[in-house]
Amino acid sequence: MFDGLTVAMVTPFQGGALDLEATARLVDGLLEGGVEGLVVSGSTGEAATCTLDERRTLWRFVRERVAGRVPVVAGTGTNSTAESITITRLAEEIGLDGAMVVTPFYNKPTPRGQVAHFTAVAKSTRLPIILYNVPGRTGTNTLPETLAQVQDLPNIVAVKEASGSLDQASAVRARTGLTLLSGDDSLTLPMIAVGATGVVSVAGNAAPRQMRALCDHARAGRMREAEAEHRRLMPLFKALFVESNPGPVKYLLSAMGILRNELRLPLVPVEPATEQAVLAAARAVGLPLAPEAQPAARA
């Protein structure tokens, strides 16, 4: 159920609060662009600085706006097993379609601790679970051998692999039966070539049609067409990670007139050089920018 293009949604803010009007614009645009799933309150959604009440409000709003057209998955993982269980149960109570559970960050659990954490969260809910391995953010790599120990839990169904290693992705495919999803936009094509069936995408917030085309071509084995899309999108993939995600993509979405360029501390808006790079990449892809979209002046 998590194959294809899933977008890790940004969370729009206005004046420090959730901006549900902008959220509606974003969700509608993503659905029109052909996304096949949404992750709400992941790292791209600044979940670390959102309260439980804000998550509840956002999840209900997105679920109602989507109205069953695609699966809506909540990012529910934290570095506390008990808190992760509480948040996952909330997602189930609200009626979402799945939960994404990141490897616990900061604590740096051993493989045995990771297995215990994932098992406890999985057994607390009936929701299908995507495990999320992103060692660049968590400080800990969840290895294929670790995933193999939890794959028999019936509701652990997929892994978002963002280690950046195709060798590791290949090992996940060889050692588990989990659905493999790319966690890096720039590796979508090679990941599908080694057995992934889709991507959890940041770039898809701004370029859903193009990312859907890339996924469709690759899944159908039309590798020449997939490579053409990959090459066309590559400057955008790079520009969106010049600074910490979601700073660049939020700036781009603001330049497209979809939401405000507002992040929560400790994240701050991107630098003018990054704005220039993002706008240049967006224009190269042909994304619709507002006429006034220009890099901001800094004193």
- C-alpha of 79 from chain center: 18
Residues contacting residue 169 through CB under 8 Å, at least 6 positions apart: 161, 163, 180, 182, 191, 194, 195, 196
Please report the beta strands in 106-257, taking only residues with DSSP state E, as ranges in sequence order. 129-133, 156-161, 179-182, 198-201
Helix (H) or strand (E) holding 190: helix 188-193
Residue 34 and residue 17 in contact, taking contact as beta carbons nearer than 8 Å? no
Residue 214 and residue 233 in contact, taking contact as beta carbons nearer than 8 Å? yes
Closest CA to 105 of 121, 117, 93, 97: 117
The amino acid sitting at 273 is: A
Q: Is the previous residue joined to 246 through a cis bond, with omega within 30 degrees of 0? A: yes
Phi, psi of 159 (to 5 degrees): -135, 130
Q: Quick one: tokens of 293?
A: 């979209």
The amino acid sitting at 272 is: P
Tokens 């509480």 belong to residue? 86
Please report the beta strands in the chain, taking only residues with DSSP state E, as ranges in sequence order. 4-8, 13-14, 17-18, 37-40, 72-75, 98-102, 129-133, 156-161, 179-182, 198-201
How far apart are alpha carbons 163 and 170 in whole angstroms? 12
Query: Which residues are catalytic, by number?
Result: 132, 160
